[in-house]
Amino acid sequence: MTGWLLVAPVLLPVLAAGLSLAVWRSAGAQRLLGTGALVAVLADAVVLLVLADRRGPLVLEVGGWPAPAGIALVADRLSTLLLTVALAVSLAVLVFAIGQGTAEGGDPIHAPFHPSYLLLVAGVGLAFLSGDLFNLFVAFELMLAASYVLINLDADEGRIRAGMTYTITSLLSSLLFLTTVGLVYAATGTVNLADLAERIPALPDGLRTVFSLLLLIVFGIKAAVVPLHFWLPDSYPTAPAPITAVLAALLTKVGLYAMVRTQTLLFPRTEPWTPLLIAGALTLLVGVLGAVAQQDLNRLLSFVLVSHIGYMLFGLSLYTVAGLAGTILYAMHHIAVQAALFLIAGLVADWSGTAALSRLARAAPPPGLLAALFLVSGLSIAGIPPLSGFVAKLALLRAGVELGGAAVLALLAAALVTSLLTLYAMARVWRAAFAAGPDKPPARHRRGTGIRLMLGATTGAVLTGVLVAVCAGPLARVSERAAADLLERDAYREAVLGESAGKDSERDREDR
């Protein structure tokens, strides 16, 4: 039974994508297939989360071939937590896209959208559940192919140029990833993550450091870590709102997940790692300064996205249970809130006819519901209590204070400055788009099923972020257990390799 549960997040979206292509002439059938598949996969992810938290890592040996020779799908607390939130947001974004098509008198994103979207979700599921480096590479390639189609649907020259920047950067990252996988296999004879956790410690120190840095660079590009972030602000803002929202919410978090998984499982450390501390500080400050300087709403949110990847690097760089738990909690918060902000931005541009802050200040304000949704999401991303951003940031700050040290405290200061500047950036958006003024015309009102669906989907994404705050206690406890699993590593290795797992627990204890 658990085998079907593990394969469903990959298999169901792929099957639905194939069926969606077969009925491409019927937009209604495509919408029904996509929505039904995502509802089923979301329910499956919730069951996986409960089982993984109760039983420990769940493993499926695809085709009956045992690891490390065969393909393994692994669901543990970390992967199922992120998968559940990602699928909830994916469902909300799909409903928004359906509403957008209805509001505009048809399906403006045409037949390729639905199968491409489902394949993107399948790639996300495979990435979170993959038990080896090569299938992680396959997952990224599946997401790249699907996202390139999505970015370039109905594209003009500017969007095609931006899409090419995204694609070329992703392909170069993939080439580096594949090269790294080949080098790792040549050095160890395996690509299975659990098996690598036993073999990599036996390599020379210099070679281990090289592999760690290579994987950090590969996933740093995909997660938009400064200075590897240059592609994101030029690529995401040009796409339609639902596509921008899903890419912003999921793709960077998958890169972050891969970074967390590989750095903790393959390269365990007992103290903060300087390269990650530096990358975290740079990402926080460069991203938020870029956001403050922007005059376009979507570009501003893109730089905010880059900046807040730094918070997740902050927790990872500490290599403590508290730090990693903060990273996991922040990733769940950020998936929901960042998607909500881009959906709100799409609605604001649709209502006002522009995304430029200077023109928004003179345009008719959006309705009060949209203002309320932005207020909740903007305050959350800025870390204002009692919202999810505050809960996640507080966990990270506590972890940093507990550990101490000059470098960690400097990163802590960068995090606080970033939070203040994020609040300033959100205040600029509020003043331009939502604040009433004598120069503004009266609010425009639009009605219809499509608009209601778009507002409902956006509300769902916002409420997902609120739910993270409401359930902060249970989620924090599960995140702490997931973080402890990442540092201990034994449960993951033994679940995948079974009795063949090498017992290096004593060496791990000596290292700690």
pLDDT tens column, 290-306:
999 999 999 999 999 99
Alpha-carbon gap, residue 280 to 286, rounded angstroms = 10
pTM: 0.91
- For the chain, the residue count is 512
For 121, 132, 187, 221, 263, the CA distances from 184, given in Å and listed in that order, are 28, 12, 5, 19, 14
Under-70 pLDDT residues of the chain: 1, 102-110, 155, 436-448, 499-512
Alpha helix locations (H) across 293-405?
297-318, 321-352, 357-360, 368-382, 388-403
CA distances for 512 relative to 104, 194, 271, 488, 506, angstroms: 59, 20, 9, 10, 10
The predicted structure's pLDDT at residue 512:
40
Question: Residue 438: what pLDDT?
Answer: 56
What pLDDT is recorded for position 508? 45
Output the pLDDT for position 108: 44
Mean pLDDT of the chain: 88
